[in-house]
A = this chain, B = another copy of it.
Amino acid sequence: MKMASNADRAVVCVSGGMDSCVCAALALKRHGRVYFLHADYGQRTEEVERECFRRLADHYGVRDRLVCRLEHLGSIGGSSLTDTSIAVSESGPDPGVIPSSYVPFRNAHFLSAAVSWAEVVGAGTVYIGAVEQDSSGYPDCRREYYEAFQRLVELGTRPETGIRISTPLIALRKHEVVEMGLSLGAPFELTWSCYRSSGPACGRCDSCVLRLRAFAEAGVDDPLEYES
């Protein structure tokens, strides 16, 4: 079974957060058929994230959807996102420090599923909305990591597949992600970023702090509701 890749098709990792929403908006502008992939890995706020995934897919009329249940990542733990005995860190990440919300080697699970799916449906591009600068401090959000993953894909798939890993947000500042989203008409009101709560957003965890700062720097209001 030969499955050459098709430039018109792309798989997008859609967590339901603001970055993946912008990444999806960009992929939908570039490709005729876009496949939305979401991962449930036992994270604290998965219920609202999956609902955002569903609403984003509905909003864009995306029929090709795959929800990957990675319960083992929850069993493995080691992160404040998957182990409620570990506190969610607040006030924004410290430069050079990997925060407690780091889920060990998490993004490889998402990309592996996306690449497997891309290979079978013949999609030529896999998008992930990782942001390196001005962001989380996670080792698996760095440009070199995705370059290494690209090499892995070239070696670990059929030679005719030619799947490209695309990280269009990797070098953007977080406020530039907001600005790109606005220019693409991305529905930020359908996204979720808070690590701690399923609503209203806590406004204090690292992810809320980064999001609020990004909207403030972009000079626009975040449409989400926050705890007062």
Contact = CB atoms under 8 A, between A and B. Distances in A.
Dominant SS at the A interface? Answer: helix
A78 interface: yes
B116 A112 contact: no
Contact of A108 (B3, B70, B112, B158): B112
Interface string A19-46: 0000000000000000000000000000
A144 B66 CA distance: 30
23 contacts: A1-B100, A68-B71, A69-B71, A69-B72, A73-B113, A76-B116, A76-B117, A76-B120, A78-B120, A102-B158, A103-B116, A104-B157, A105-B112, A105-B115, A108-B116, A108-B156, A109-B112, A139-B155, A139-B157, A139-B159, A145-B155, A151-B151, A152-B152
Given A78-B3, A113-B72, A148 B151 contact: yes
A1 B120 contact: no
Count the copies: 2
A100 B2 CA distance: 10
Interface of A: 1, 3, 66-73, 75-78, 86, 98, 100, 102-109, 111-113, 115-117, 119-120, 139-140, 142, 144-145, 148-149, 151-153, 155-159
